[in-house]
Structure 1
């Protein structure tokens, strides 16, 4: 049978099943369990082996890494037997599932960078935003006005906007260290947790404006009862002042084919190799 005849036979079979009321088998849903994991200076504060062990313990099958480089990504992926992206920056995606495609982008004017891997039909992005002019210090240490705080967020906001725009409109997951709190956390109800401030942080708003949903706040909507702090399990003192504790690591998702099932912070305790907690979010992709 020629290839053309095989294609025609396939079409006729589908039509016959439809006409007789016999449903074609539905495609199986895929689980994507995504870990947003800043590994702290290439895993140098615990060793690559510790990073690998924590990824295994998390149950993740996709990890958005930040603070990689120097061969760290390759070493982690090889130890796990996973696939990986390799742009040569401090961000990467590693996956136990096949990586179908990859892409990356950088912006000279802001220094923003993003890398993405297509996994189970979904683009998964790893990002890491500018760490300078950290907003909670403006609030808790300098007691700046909200307008000053937001002015100092300008470059980080532009980075987030550039990355969010680059993702287009297709289903996707964006994960990483934003070096910024969330506008869903510094609310009026939670001011006592944040040095008396209410701030509509623009980095997270840049993603929600492009149709993304914060998986943690979707499933854990109360920032007072469930703050979800990821900064920092080890940094508690800043020159004799209490270090502001905050949620600055995220897993966002977009698209009706992606359903969040669970989310939590992950890590901490003896032997944890990072100065951040990770964020672990599980999705069903249909």
Structure 2
């Protein structure tokens, strides 16, 4: 009897060791906002999820998968899978399914195969219509307002770029996805929420610059409402029968940041390995790297390989090759030790490759590493590579060269609070990593002192809860203005005794519509944008130049104006670049023309004059449908001020971490001569 009891306890311990815990996300139906920011999918798609409503009282609409912010566009369906008065519903086809049960788990799905849209409940078709649509699956459990927030539990959200069949839905709805699914290469989003902690949850299907990870926030970010959270899933129909560990997806994510001369541990790339199961864990044995596209191997002193944990932002890095390695040839194979740090865990595993950049690395040289193969156990894997990242090059900083001035322009979005308590910390980390000497900032709204203290910089702001903030490594001499919400002028006292005029501004935007985020609409009139900009933003910048700049400068004064101009540039909205802007052309946009006519250089377009080849935008960088609207600028003027490089910064220095603002930043490096 004792022997039998001992064996039974042993079996229970063994099972608990490898048991998979399944979690679902709880959405409060009031204020929770799970953004994923996914871009549109055209005519072939599937959306599916398990849901459990929290009561039997239905709103007019409750969203399962919706478009999210800035999604009310007439060119697509922004409510592709919702509940309308208790019935499953697809907005684009005006398609109504059956009434949904309450207080129990149900599997719901909408599919489109290019010719017809179908709704499914628990694997059975409940409605269809012969049509096809473009959808925008940008958020989970919400569209844009609290009126449509779902209340209850959601799990196993899957987003596909193909119309799954009934057979495929039924075969996989009761179990976790694996790479054995017949349509696995068409999987664009997979959210099982098991890793949700505080502000983010990963998209396990991610493979590009925009990973579409969940940004867990609130509609009213200033109120102390709880974020969405996970609970143990009590869905008895769904079976997490994962045992022996298997690979799910292996993806390489490169950086978009330029490397600075003398920089240590510059993040070159991250290897993201998704696994399923705990039994017989696999190990990463070998990495083969190709540096042949680098301009010069002499720019790299050493490379390092780290275990970077299971989250995009890792607090602890464990070096796998002590002291790193020299790059002696363009192709190198790295043998990794077999230990607990190269052994893969169930879920997400990050391996980080960094580089120590030589202090005398050549400015402008290209730097890149390509991960050719990964050996896991005894099998060589060809990883998936992100294809939508910007090239990176060698740049410099004011530590290496006292003539250099690095300027960062960034609207941080309501103090950076849209990612909860970690949002401002991400803002600070990015600014520190940029090594910016001056930051022109909008929407500080209560975070400016925390940021200034963390940087150790001088701060100029109308008040500690105001919009505009100006930070500087060097002393600031304030210039008074009557337009504190729009203009924040000062002289920066450089170490060599010279003064530079700097202003961080914010201009009013066109309302009908704010074309920066609504270009994917049919029937818009660019002449209207021009007209509104002429009476709003153009007036603001004219006042700034006439009242806050011209009276204080001489012909020799170097001038830098960074700001959220809330207007596009005539240098972007050309016939040549029309395909980037939903076919629209707006070459008469007045604000950028005014700046150009007054002798100012658009520093980004100065470095990248081809608007069709470099059409990346700054608003709204976290939404896939809005990637080419450039409304944030750094303008310069002055004979002694030369632009060395300029870049739209739209990814975190910590590769694959979520972006904390709705605006990208602009980083321009100047040489003061």
TM-aligned CA deviation for residue 224 of structure 1: 0.5
> 2:507 corresponds to which residue?
129
TM-aligned CA deviation for residue 29 of structure 1: 5.8
* 203-212 or 183-192, larger mean C-alpha shift: 203-212
Q: Which structure is higher in RCO with an 8 Å CA cutoff and minimum separation 6?
A: 1
CA distance in 2, matches of 1:274, 1:198: 27
> 2:646 corresponds to which residue?
263
Task: Name the SS of the counterpart of 2:539 in structure 1.
Answer: helix
CA distance in 2, matches of 1:187, 1:146: 12
TM-aligned CA deviation for residue 37 of structure 1: 0.9
* 210-219 or 191-200, larger mean C-alpha shift: 191-200
TM-score by length of 1: 0.80
1:72-100, Cα deviation, whole Å (9 max, x unpaired): 1111011111111021231111011222x
> 1:227 corresponds to which residue?
615
Would you say how many aligned residue pairs link Structure 1 and Structure 2? 249
TM-aligned CA deviation for residue 138 of structure 1: 6.9
The list of structure 1 runs, each at least 4 consecutive aligned residues, that deviate by more than 6 angstroms after superposition, is none
| Larger Rg computed on CA atoms | 2
> 1:45 corresponds to which residue?
418
Task: Name the SS of the counterpart of 2:471 in structure 1.
Answer: strand
1:163 aligned residue (544, 548, 564): 544
> 1:76 corresponds to which residue?
451
- Residue segments in structure 2 that go unaligned for 5+ positions in a row: 1-400
> 1:36 corresponds to which residue?
409
1:148 aligned residue (525, 528, 536): 528
CA distance in 2, matches of 1:274, 1:149: 25
2:569 aligned residue (182, 186, 193): 182
* 245-254 or 46-55, larger mean C-alpha shift: 46-55
TM-score by length of 2: 0.35
RMSD: 2.1
* 178-187 or 151-160, larger mean C-alpha shift: 151-160
Is 1:274 the counterpart of 2:661 in the alignment? yes
Structure 1 residues 164, 209: CA separation in 2 closer, same or farther (over 3 Å shift)?
Answer: farther
CA distance in 2, matches of 1:57, 1:196: 37
Structure 1 residues 137, 65: CA separation in 2 closer, same or farther (over 3 Å shift)?
Answer: closer
> 1:115 corresponds to which residue?
488
CA distance in 1, matches of 2:527, 2:406: 38
> 2:559 corresponds to which residue?
172
> 2:99 corresponds to which residue?
none
CA contact (8 A) 2:516 2:631 kept: no
Is 1:91 the counterpart of 2:468 in the alignment? yes
CA distance in 1, matches of 2:485, 2:445: 16
> 2:432 corresponds to which residue?
56
1:25-74, Cα deviation, whole Å (9 max, x unpaired): xxx9632100001111011124322111100111211100110122x111
CA distance in 2, matches of 1:260, 1:248: 19
CA distance in 1, matches of 2:413, 2:478: 24
Structure 1 residues 215, 195: CA separation in 2 closer, same or farther (over 3 Å shift)?
Answer: same
> 2:212 corresponds to which residue?
none
CA contact (8 A) 2:412 2:427 kept: yes
CA distance in 2, matches of 1:64, 1:202: 22
CA distance in 1, matches of 2:455, 2:516: 36
CA contact (8 A) 1:216 1:281 kept: yes
TM-aligned CA deviation for residue 112 of structure 1: 6.2
1:173-231, Cα deviation, whole Å (9 max, x unpaired): 00011111111000121111112222121121222222110000111111110113111
> 1:249 corresponds to which residue?
632
TM-aligned CA deviation for residue 137 of structure 1: 5.8
CA distance in 2, matches of 1:235, 1:272: 11
CA distance in 1, matches of 2:573, 2:517: 14
TM-aligned CA deviation for residue 117 of structure 1: 2.3
1:129-163, Cα deviation, whole Å (9 max, x unpaired): 11341234675425233332222222112112222
